Amino acid sequence: MSRKFKKNTYYTEKEVNEVLKGVYEDFVMIRRYLIDYKLLNRNKEGTKYWVVNT
């Protein structure tokens, strides 16, 4: 699912949610898993999200 996001691009929480809504009903859970599994990262304020470069 992290492939739905471009590398080297920052997203707002709203933008992340919009992408994930099309994937699964519980998009908040999916967003949390992407962060927990270190596929997406976010700043401390939760205002910027980005793909983790591996």
Higher pLDDT, 42 or 23: 42
Give the confidence band of 47 by pLDDT, cuts at 50, 70, 90.
very high
Mean pLDDT over 16-33 rounds to: 95
What pLDDT score does 2 carry?
79
pLDDT at 27 over 80: yes
pTM value is 0.87
What CA–CA distance (Å, rounded) separates 6 from 40? 11
Give phi and psi for 51, each to the nearest 5: -75, 135
pLDDT at 54 over 80: no
pLDDT at 7 over 70: yes
